[in-house]
Amino acid sequence: MKLFTYWRSQAAYRVRIALALKGLAMEKVTLDLLAGDQFAADYQALNPEGVVPTLIDGEGQPLVQSLAILEYLDEKYPEPPLLPKELRARAHARAIAQMVAMDAHPFIVPRVRKYLEEELHVGEAARAVWVRHWLDQGSRAVEEVLAHDPRTGKFCVGDRPTVADICLAAHLTSAKLFGGRDPADYPVAGRIYANCMAIEAFAAEHPLRQPDAQAQARI
């Protein structure tokens, strides 16, 4: 399988974790989002939205949108499952995933930061405040849910990693990379983050272990 990825992309990290958890080999094609590789015509032919990730799985149309890709992978390669069995628990896992992937992440993507910089003339320091604000707000929201839900276990929903953990781990990793926020600042989410990072699939696909990782990258 071929994955178009960028080291610091939260959405691409979600897909890398899922592929690794399922033991699926991936050939990584790295894009530099800050250099604008996502706008190249040959990439936009695969992904007209101009974002990563894009997954190529054999013949057929490219797969886009990380949460759709996670569900595709789970349906095509069911072991180990990325969703709990019980119906309401499945909805709960998807809800946690969406809290970070849909309610927090869209505020911090490169095209939003670029718009702030180029159209609204927001300086780098203020952009960093913006990014940290949305990351922190997402983390606090998930922490509240996890702290009050009886289904919280070793992972977000029970004792096996699900889509919720994949999205939470990617989110807290961004919070660390962009804002220096320690996952341990969130007692329950931080404990779950540590459990995720003890799993090779999460650790090996960490942004800083990617071939295109950069020591310093601007916000």
Ligand X SMILES: N[C@@H](CCC(=O)N[C@@H](CS)C(=O)NCC(=O)O)C(=O)O
Minimum distance from residue 174 beta carbon to ligand X (Å): 8
Q: Pairing relation of β-strands 2-5 and 54-56? A: antiparallel
Which of residues 66 and 152 has its CB atom nearest to ligand X in the complex?
66
CB of 69 to ligand X, least distance (A): 7
* Identity of the residue, 47 or 152, whose beta carbon is nearer to ligand X in the bound complex: 47
Residue 1 tokens read as 């399988």
Cβ contact 156:193 at 8 Å: no
Closest CB to ligand X among 33 and 166? 33
For residue 48, the minimal CB distance to ligand X (Å) is 13
- Residue 55 phi/psi, 5-degree rounding, is -120, 130
Nearer Cβ to ligand X (54/152): 54
Please give the residue ranges that form the binding site for ligand X (CB under 6 A). 9-11, 33, 38, 51-53, 65-67, 101, 109-111
Contact 163, 93 (CB under 8 A): yes
Q: What is the rounded distance in angstroms from the CA atom of residue 131 to the CA atom of residue 99?
A: 16
Smallest separation, CB 50 to ligand X (Å):
6
Cβ neighbours of 152 (radius 10 Å): 20
Reading the block at residue 7, the tokens are 């080291």
